[in-house]
Amino acid sequence: MTSANRLAECVKPVVEQLEGRTMMSITVQPLTTDSDGNDRLVITGDSKNDTLLVTDDPVNLEVRIVKNGVNQTVAYPGGDPIEIFDVDLGGGNDKITFEVYGDAISPNYVTAQRSIALDGNTGNDTITMTIPGGIVAGSDITVDIDGDSGNDNTTLNFNYLRDSKLDIDLKDGEGNDTSLVNLPNVLSTDGFASPNYNSAVFFDAETGNGKNTLTVNANSGIYYDSLLDIDIKGGNSTGSSYDTINLDFDNTTVEGKLFVVVNALNGDDRINTRVDNLYVESFNTPSYASSPTAMFNINGNDGKDQLTSTAVTSGFYIDETGFASFAAKGGNGDDKIVTNFTGPIDVAVGGQLVLNIDGQNNNDTIETQLFFGDFVATTQGGGGQTTLQIMGGQNRDDVKVLLTDLSTNGAAFGPGAFGAVIDGQSNIDKIFAQFTNLVVNPLVRNFESATIAILP
């Protein structure tokens, strides 16, 4: 055997397994500027399952980033803030957390401009955003959340605004999504922006197709001439895929303006609205005429919808300067509309309340229970104008109405003889009604079967 053969006999090929290495799938792009010269930070991902934490720190003039466990710091260039954040982690089941450094008491954004876009892209993503403290002194913050496709989970947390603006756009996208939005609990002023002292919050949401749950907590003090504007659209889903939209306005004071519009679109949707301990009143003494306004427009649209609205513990109060309206429409489908405002309702002389409940098309079940009374000992004890319209709509409807008035001055239905009307409208309808201690009983018409009790 030659020496070469002996060497080949001794040397055997060996495959050595190298130590595993994690390839970074999150890229922090170099800072750029937009056409207005604002600094822009772009963070991208790929198809892997990524975890990203972004902390915007206006105090230390930097942005701290943790990408899949690896730390990185991006300093504010020249001390000027990074105003645009654009995060898109691509495919995969990603976790995105964006937070602002600070506590819940101190202002976090002062005279700040921010545009924050967080996109989970495809996959089952978790997106969390928190501004723990105040947005103040003319700040203008825009938040754009896009869950995209997949079963996503989104949580948004905000605290308070003074003389500032917050614009939130939430798109859940396709899939079975769960979203929780905690809107600011105070919209007010430091008294610098005369003559109209105000802050403004705009919240727009689209649940997309799928079986989705959206919960919005709007337990806010909307002071001076501030504005809270909420616009929610459901998805076009069928069968077991439907939207559940929960709106919580308990313990809310409206001195400015509150506008709420919900359109669930297609599907057998559930819309639950709480308005317990709601004040619509002039709270401060501004230098202009105050006109507190709260308007709710709830529309189930197509499908067998369930619309439930409650104020059963403390009720709500509308003072002599206030206006409130509540409209619930079933749309097409065999809907169930339950309205229980028994906490009680107190509309002061000069104030106005409009209630409009409409089953619209198909065979609907409408249950309405209202209790008029003295909200607290210091109120006027009712006497303000209330307009009540309950309509069955087309096809066979089953209506139940319980109205009770124990207020000091009595509920004043108006304007005119048609201030309180309960109308079955077309087809064969049924009503059970009980009116207790009303100054003027409602006009009841177009019911083929009617049981009505009038009690002292």
Helix (H, G, I), strand (E, B) or coil at 416: helix
Q: What is the pTM of this model?
A: 0.92
Cα gap 348→237, rounded to integer Å = 43
Tens of pLDDT, residues 284-324: 765 566 799 999 999 998 889 999 999 999 899 999 999 99
**pLDDT value for 197:** 73
Rounded mean pLDDT of the chain? 90
- How much is the average pLDDT of 266-289? 85
Q: Which residue has the higher pLDDT, 148 or 258?
A: 258
Quote the tokens at residue 173. Answer: 């996208």
CA distance 334 to 424: 15
Lowest mean pLDDT among 70-79, 186-195, 365-374, 407-416: 186-195
Asked if residue 352 lies in contact with residue 324, where contact means CB atoms within 8 angstroms, the answer is yes
Residue 14 has pLDDT above 80, yes or no: no
Number of helices (H), then strands (E), belonging to the chain: the values are 1, 41
Only one residue has tokens 């309702």, namely 345
At 434, the pLDDT band (50, 70, 90 cuts) reads: very high
